[in-house]
């Protein structure tokens, strides 16, 4: 039989899963602005020790920022889920 504490942790895990399901498209990386006079937005990703840039233009900048923020939110939720699951593993 589960303890009250384990039931509470499992409830929290269900809530984290719900939050994860609400997150839209994700992209690891960040929006950077390059240029001294004519500043232009790019999406920057470091992969395999190389920096990859994608030109965004003004129209795609907000969308790329949203995807990047979604990635950060997802990482936070994964960290929370990890701590909760570690707690469960200790208690069972």
Tens-digit pLDDT profile for residues 45-79: 999 999 999 999 999 999 999 999 999 999 999 99
pLDDT exceeds 70 at position 29: yes
| 1 pLDDT more than 70 | no
Distances (CA, A) of 67 to 5, 14, 43: 35, 24, 11
Query: Mean pLDDT, the chain, as a whole number?
Result: 95
Total number of domains in the chain: 1
pLDDT at 91: 87
Q: What does pTM read for this prediction?
A: 0.87
DSSP string, 81-92: HHHHHHHHHHH-
Q: Is the pLDDT of residue 92 over 90?
A: no
Distance CA 88, CA 6 (A): 7
Residue range of the domain that includes 82: 4-91
């Amino acid at each position: 039989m589960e303890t009250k504490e384990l039931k509470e942790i499992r409830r929290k895990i269900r809530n984290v899963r719900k939050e994860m399901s609400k997150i839209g498209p994700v992209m690891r990386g960040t929006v950077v602005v390059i240029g001294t006079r004519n500043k232009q937005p790019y999406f920057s990703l470091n992969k395999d020790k190389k920096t990859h840039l994608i030109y965004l233009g003004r129209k795609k900048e907000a969308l790329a920022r949203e995807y990047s923020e979604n990635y950060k939110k997802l990482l936070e939720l994964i960290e929370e889920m990890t701590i909760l699951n570690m707690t469960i593993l200790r208690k069972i």
